[in-house]
Structure 1
Amino acid sequence: MTSIVNLEISSEGTGLAELFESVPSLACEAEAGVVSDGYDLWLSGASKDEIESGLADASTIEDRTLVNGSEEQWLYNVTFAPDAIDLFEVVLEEGGTILDASASGRSWNLNIRVQERSDASSIHTRLEELDLEPTVIRLYDTSDETGSQSGLTQNQYETLVAAINYGYFEIPRDVSMQELSEELGVSHQALSERLRRAYRSLVTSELDVSPEETEPALSSTLSD
């Protein structure tokens, strides 16, 4: 029975620990469907100069490349040093698939799909052995989940609820994306990207496919 486990994990000791130490206000969200070397991470909560400086000074980060960005957040492809704890690799090794990963306030929040509940236990045990202080927020079978909870972070869930309440999904729309972004106090770009990642989390969870499995179809669509 496929299950989803929502874990909160300390960022201390992970590959981004030094970056969070130097930039305490940093927020991070992993890009779904990573197909390149390293990990694609959206970084925000500080100026670009502060983030660049923190990345450059972090000994746990071997390489980084700026991929994309706006005035408030930037997408970096990050490669961790060999001796750093690679949180994503740990989950993969224990049989989990990360549907969504975000970090702020020096803690990670992960939604992980596992084929058996014993895999969730193995992931938790491994993280404990690495002193990452894992806390299970929620563990549920995919057959029991509701559409509004499928692999979403709290921010994504609250954004979708707000979009529904303000009539963004009505036909015709009662509110534009610009108006919704102003109501939520985020930039138009940040809202667009948050909604896109929320849609992707819902689809990959509901259809029971990994983010990687959706890549060919996505690439084909974008090239049309």
Structure 2
Amino acid sequence: MSVLTEFAVPSEEFILHETLERISDIHVEIERVVADSEYVTPYFWASGESVERFERALGEDVTVETITLLENHDNERFYRVSWRQRTGTVGHAVSELKASILEATSDGNDWYLKLLFPSESSLTEFHDYCSSYDLSFQLIRMYESRHPNAFGKYEVTPKQREALVTALDSGYFSVPRGATLKHVAGELDISPNALSTRLRRGHANLITNTLRHEG
């Protein structure tokens, strides 16, 4: 039986520690993470007035292997960044135990992670791993489910969900259309380009994890 958990983790025990230590007034939200035995590669949004300084600090972070800027919308940017896997970190534990990171956000100090473990035993192994390396974390919530796909919300991120629901409620998807892209973007306080990106990615995730799997 899969287990969904929510953790608070100090920034120094996950990723971006050196960057966030220098630039704390920034909001970071990870959309997805690709990991193997050598590298962990998160795709994430960084937003805030200090995003320019954040990008400079990211470029000077000695723990970072590669940085790719994928989207740039005013004070909100989307990156792909690679780190070499290091034992004794929460990220390495997640990768080793085949857990899935469903949500990950940081406002400069702690990371708030929503992790899906494939079984209760893998959660126990995660706890043992963290204890053996003296890693700090706070378990906030834990759930069990026989339907793990429900936890993933079809891999739609919180920001994508917010954009899709706001657009729906505003009449953006109605025929005839009841709201413009600019109007919906104004309600979310983001640029029309950023909203368009979120809607496209949200639609792609919904279609991939619903219609493509039917039949």
TM-score (norm 1): 0.69
Instruction: Give the Cα–Cα distance (whole angstroms) in 1 for the partners of residues 155 and 6 of structure 2.
Output: 8
Measured against aligned partners, the alpha-carbon deviations of 1:63-113 in whole angstroms (never above 9, x if no partner) come to 434344232233333232565865443212123122343332423233333
Do residues 177 (structure 1) and 142 (structure 2) align?
Answer: no
Which residue identity lines up with residue 192 of structure 1 in the other structure? S
Give unmatched runs, 5+ long, in structure 2: none
| Greater fraction of residues in strand | 2
Measured against aligned partners, the alpha-carbon deviations of 1:136-173 in whole angstroms (never above 9, x if no partner) come to 33424153886895655554444444333323343443
CA contact (8 A) 1:61 1:80 kept: yes
**Percent of counterpart pairs with the same letter?**
26
Do residues 117 (structure 1) and 120 (structure 2) align?
Answer: yes
Q: CA deviation at 1:130?
A: 4.6
Instruction: Tell me what 1:213 maps to.
Output: none
Instruction: Tell me what 2:12 maps to.
Output: 12
The CA RMSD measured in Å over matched residues stands at 3.8
CA contact (8 A) 1:100 1:152 kept: no
Pick aligned residue for 1:44 from 44, 47, 58: 47
Give unmatched runs, 5+ long, in structure 1: 210-224
| Greater Cα offset, 45-54 or 126-135 | 126-135
Instruction: Tell me what 2:106 maps to.
Output: 103
Instruction: Give the Cα–Cα distance (whole angstroms) in 2 for the partners of residues 13 and 66 of structure 1.
Output: 24
Instruction: Give the Cα–Cα distance (whole angstroms) in 1 for the partners of residues 208 and 114 of structure 2.
Output: 12
Instruction: Tell me what 2:64 maps to.
Output: 61
CA contact (8 A) 1:31 1:41 kept: yes
- Tell me the matched-pair count: 209
CA contact (8 A) 1:60 1:83 kept: no
Instruction: Give the Cα–Cα distance (whole angstroms) in 2 for the partners of residues 68 and 95 of structure 1.
Output: 29
Task: State the SS of the aligned residue for 1:102.
Answer: strand
Alpha-carbon spacing, 1:142–1:179, altered in 2? closer, same or farther (3 Å): farther
Task: State the SS of the aligned residue for 1:32.
Answer: strand
Instruction: Give the Cα–Cα distance (whole angstroms) in 2 for the partners of residues 13 and 33 of structure 1.
Output: 16
Instruction: Tell me what 2:138 maps to.
Output: 134
Instruction: Give the Cα–Cα distance (whole angstroms) in 2 for the partners of residues 204 and 138 of structure 1.
Output: 27
TM-score (norm 2): 0.71
Instruction: Give the Cα–Cα distance (whole angstroms) in 2 for the partners of residues 8 and 158 of structure 1.
Output: 23
